[in-house]
Amino acid sequence: MIRLVLACLLGCDLLAAPTPPPLAVPPRPGVPQVSRQVDVETLRALLEAPSDHVRVYVFWASWCAPCIAEFPILKSFAAQHPDVDVVLVNVDSLAVQSARVPGLVSRHGLLQLEHIWLVSSDPNRALKQAVTDWPEAIPTALVVRPDGVRQAMHVESVDGATLASSVRAARQPRPKQP
């Protein structure tokens, strides 16, 4: 029933495909303006794609207390580093995503960040497919260089200074391979 309601809200037929293509979520109060649902293949492609900026992908869930505790750090980091794309990747079930995630994001003042909602019946298995050496722990932050190569993986909580250090390293030219 929840999938049907969400499908109607999003203007697409989620019931027809078990892993839907990326969907743009229409602007609604309390929902981030830059938000989309992705399947495992799309997530992997996003993580490895070249970009104009260093990116920080933070994997989290609404039931994860350390994830929620990290929100003020991420909000502050994003404000201090506007040239870094901070992307929150939610790994809750689809039902939880639609019921709890928008309120959490709004309450913590994170509407300005990009949000990705992983669509999977088994998020842990999907993350193992999407992220090389997935640690099976959240929160996990990946710092990705502009060339799409992962610079760092921070498992469990990360502080702003550690993120800043990883971002600085990600901005450095990569040494040429012999």
User: What are the tens digits of pLDDT across the range 62-112?
Assistant: 999 999 999 999 999 999 999 999 999 999 887 787 788 888 888 999 888
Ramachandran class of 128: left when φ > 0, alpha when ψ lies in -120 to 50, beta otherwise: alpha
145 close to 174: Cβ distance less than 8 angstroms:
yes
pTM confidence score: 0.79
Q: What is the tally of helices (H) and strands (E) in the chain?
A: 6, 7
Query: What's 19-171's CATH class?
Result: alpha beta
pLDDT band at 10 (very low <50, low <70, confident <90, very high): very low
What tokens appear for 101 in the block? 């995630």
Residue-level pLDDT at 34: 56
What tokens appear for 69 in the block? 């505790």
Residue-level pLDDT at 94: 78
Kindly report, residue by residue over 100-159, the tens digit of the pLDDT.
888 888 899 988 899 998 998 888 899 999 999 999 999 999 999 999 999 999 998 899
Residue-level pLDDT at 14: 39
Edge-first strand order for the sheet with 140-144 is 23-24, 35-38, 114-118, 85-90, 55-60, 140-144, 150-155
CB atoms within 10 A of CB 75: 16
